[in-house]
Every structure is written in C-alpha cells, then in structure tokens.
Amino acid sequence: MDPLSRPWPPFALGTYAEERELFQLLQIMLEELLIHKPEDPIQYMINHLEQHNDDAPRICVLGPPASGKTTVAMWLCKRLDAIRISQETLLFKETLKLAEEAKAHKESKQKIPNALWANLIQERLSNVDCIKQGWILEGFPENQEQAWMLQSAGIIPRHVVLTYVRTRHRSAAPFTPRILFCGPPGSGKSLQAALIAQKYDVVNICCGQLLKEAVAGKTKVGELVKPYIDNGYPVPDPLCVRILAERLSALDCLTHGWVLHGFPRDIEQGEELQKSQIAPNRVFFFNLPHESIMERLSQRRIDPITGERYHTTFRPAPTPEIQARLRQNPRDQEENVEKRVEAYYRNVKELEGFYEDAFYVNADQDPHIVFEFIESCIIKPIPLKKVTSL
C-alpha cells in the first residue's frame, strides 16, 4: 500500500508539517501577499513557489571597505558549495554578454550604471551553476537604489549577514511542544514534567501511569495490559505504543502539546514510536551520578496513613510518631534501585545515538536551575532535521 495513501494518525500531521517547514512556508506566502498585493494572488503564489522551492543558498555579504567581505564570501562558498559573485568576477566572466559593456564603462573611467549592474547580475544568476548550487553575492548592493534594482529584477537574497546564516531564524509559525524526558530513576523527570506542564499548559504523560489508568478504566487494551502489571512483567512494546498513540491523538495533546517520560527506555522502543509517527521535537537526557541516585531513592519513605512522602535526609518526618510508622516502597530498596539503574545505563547509549539532536541536563542541581535550563532549550527554534522519504 502506498504510504501516502494510507490514513495518518492525527498527531503525525503536525510532525510532517514541522519537518517540511510548511508552517514557515505559509507564513512567508502570507507576508508576500500582504506586501505585494498582487491582482492574481493564486498565480502569484504559484510563481513564488516555483522560484523559491529549492534549498540552494542565496546570500548577500555586505560591509564597508576592508571589513572582510571577500574572506566571508569565500568561506561561505566553501562551506555551502555555492558560486561566489563579485564585481570583479562579473567583469571577467567571458560568457556574459553584458560584461564587455560594463568593462567599457570601467576602462573609460565612467561609473557603471546601476541598471547595467542589475542586468549583469541577473544574467549571471540565470546560469545553470548558480541555479543548482546557489550563490554568494559579495559587496552588492551598495545603496538603496541598487537594492531596488535587484528586487525589480527578481533577485531576492535569503540572507544578508553572516550571523543570520549561522543561526536558525526565529519564526512566528505555530509550534506545538512535543517533549521527551529520558533519564535514570530518581533524576527528576516527573518533577520537571509537572513544572513544564503547569507553566506551558502542555499535557503531562507518564507511560507507567497511563498503563495503570488503562487497566483501571477496564478498556479493551487495559484488559490486555492487566496480566502483565498484576504479575510484575514488562508490558510488551506494541501495547505501550498503542496506548500512547491513542492518548496523543486526543484533542488536548494535539492543540497544547505534550511532555512524555517513562518511554522509550531503549532503542527498540524508540523505533516503535518512530514507526507510529510519534516524533518528539525536544528530547532531554537527564544525567545524575550513581551516588546521587541511590541517595535520592533509597532514603525515600511514605506515611501509610496520610500518604505523605518523606526523605530521611532532605525531608525527615516532623515527629517521632510519624517516623515510627514510615514504610519504604520495595522499588526503593537498594538492590532494586541498582537493577533499575543498571537496566537504564545498559540501553542509554544506543538511545542517545537514536536521538542525536537531544539536549543533556545536569540533574544534580537545584530543581529550579534544572527547570530554567530545560525552559531555555524549549523556546529555542526547532532544530532542522533531514527529511526522509515516506
């Protein structure tokens, strides 16, 4: 069956649009319509897409004399495999019909008209090498009149300064957060997910909690999951992904976004998510020393009467009476924590390689400092990813 003809889950459509920058394209098209106000907007946009649907660079390098324009232009050409164009290269390009006319002006010590420069540049940019590889225009335009000449000739650079080329431009296009937290037990994933969900109104999704809710709700999938949870066995990946896909298709997740933790735990689970079109656009790996993990988890206690949680070092019980009745969750016993930590580090390297654009968090800090770092990464522009065929 043709991949494009089969129905896509709702959450996959947003991923598809973001990866192919459709929101940014829509934003640019609307700006063009508002600025130029063409009589035939449909035909205007068709022409716009035909002219600007490639990834070839179109860059102007401008600056005062001796500012390093040539060095910057040559560096960009080398990095981007583009064609360098300057006034000198234009005058000595033998294949250009207008080059001789421009040289005649220069030899007679006359100023080359702006219109001639614009036509000469337009002729050069119409060559096959510039169309395929893109171009770096050095030192032109020098004034507003020349800039208008270029624009009138349909020569519109994408970028004008080096810092713009090196960084991803911020866009007002819609961005739906799809955040994934990975980390060892006790690294603070649940706390940070709750803080992010509270501040940004995204949906907080814990895979383990989601499985328990499915069992408690006595859904069809929950009935399949119940025997595994009751007997303490891992729930098969297809069932986990099925429940996650159903939850992420809900309206609140589609409109507000989500933060997921507790899944995936290994590369196989990550691949299952990818096959189901569940693609996070922010991935964080929490790093925490082994001794800190043991200190955080093995000293946790719970009051069986009130349900209040305590920690023998960081939050001890306020009275001897409460202290006497505290209990430890079997999961927090040292030998069980060791097994969980070992399982995490056994799989994390491959998972880090799978999510190569991930951010890394030093979780051995005050939770508010950790939150500030995560927040700064969330508001950054979405990293560009190579688009693969479906």
Read off the tokens for 351: 């998972």
> What pLDDT was estimated at residue 325?
92
pLDDT at 99: 82
Q: What would the two tokens of residue 26 be?
A: 């829509």
Q: Is 342 exposed, middle or buried (0-12, 13-18, 19+ CB in 10 A)?
A: exposed
Q: Span 57-167: which CATH code?
A: 3.40.50.300
Average pLDDT, the chain: 83
Helix/strand/coil percentages in the chain, nearest 5: 55, 10, 35
Mean pLDDT of 238-263: 91
Give the count of alpha carbons within 13 A of 390, CB side only.
Answer: 16
Residues forming beta bridges with residue 204, ordered by sequence position: 259
Among 385, 157, 149, residue whose Cα is nearest residue 283 = 385
The mean pLDDT of 306-333, rounded to a whole number, is 90
pLDDT of residue 145: 80
For residues 43 and 28, give the distance between their C-alpha atoms in angstroms, rounded to a whole number. Answer: 16
Name the percent of the chain lying above pLDDT 90. Answer: 36
In this predicted structure, which of 13-17, 60-64, 254-258, 372-376 has the lowest mean pLDDT? 13-17
Say yes or no to pLDDT of 188 above 50. yes
Residue 226 φ/ψ, nearest 5 degrees: -50, -45
Picking from 117-121, 237-241, 278-282, which range would have the lowest pLDDT averaged per residue? Answer: 117-121
Residue type (1 letter), 50 = E
**What is residue 1's predicted lDDT score, i.e. its pLDDT?**
44
Longest dimension (CA), the chain: 102
Give the span between the Cα atoms of 129 and 140, in whole angstroms: 20
One-letter amino acid of 241: V
258 with 205: CB under 8 angstroms?
A: yes
At a CB cut-off of 8 Å and minimum separation 6, what does 367 contact?
188, 191, 192, 195
Q: What is the pLDDT of residue 168?
A: 47
Between CA 294 and CA 300 the distance in angstroms is 10
- Residue 162: predicted pLDDT: 47
pLDDT in tens, 17-51: 776 667 777 777 787 788 778 888 888 888 777 66
CB 77 within 8 A of CB 83: yes
The pLDDT assigned to 3 comes to 47
Rounded to 5 degrees, what angle do the CA atoms 305, 332, 289 make? 135
Under 8 Å between Cβ of 272 and 265: no
The token duo for 187 is 């690294």
What pLDDT is recorded for position 158? Answer: 62
**Amino acid 63: pLDDT:** 81
Measured CA to CA, the distance from residue 186 to residue 191 in angstroms comes to 10
Q: Is 60 exceeded by the pLDDT of residue 382?
A: no
Residue ranges with strand state E in 257-342: 258-261, 282-287, 300-302, 309-311
User: What is the mean pLDDT of the segment spanning 296-313?
Assistant: 91
pLDDT (tens digit per residue) in 260-298: 999 999 999 999 998 888 889 899 999 999 999 999 999
Q: Which CATH superfamily is domain 178-378 in?
A: P-loop containing nucleotide triphosphate hydrolases (3.40.50.300)
What is the rounded CA–CA span in Å between residue 32 and residue 38? Answer: 9
- DSSP per residue, 133-161: H-EEEES---SHHHHHHHHHTT---SB-S
- 8 A C-beta contact, residue 223 and residue 325: no
What CA–CA distance (Å, rounded) separates 32 from 51? Answer: 13
pLDDT tens, residue by residue, 59-117: 888 888 877 888 888 888 888 888 998 888 888 776 777 888 888 888 888 888 888 88
Q: Tell which wins on pLDDT, 137 or 169.
A: 137
pLDDT score recorded for residue 52: 53
Q: Rounded distance, CA 285 to CA 300, Å?
A: 23
Numbered ranges of CATH 3.40.50.300 in the chain: 57-167, 178-378
Tell which wins on pLDDT, 52 or 314: 314
φ, ψ for residue 113 (rounded to 5)?
-60, 145
pLDDT of the residue at 385: 44
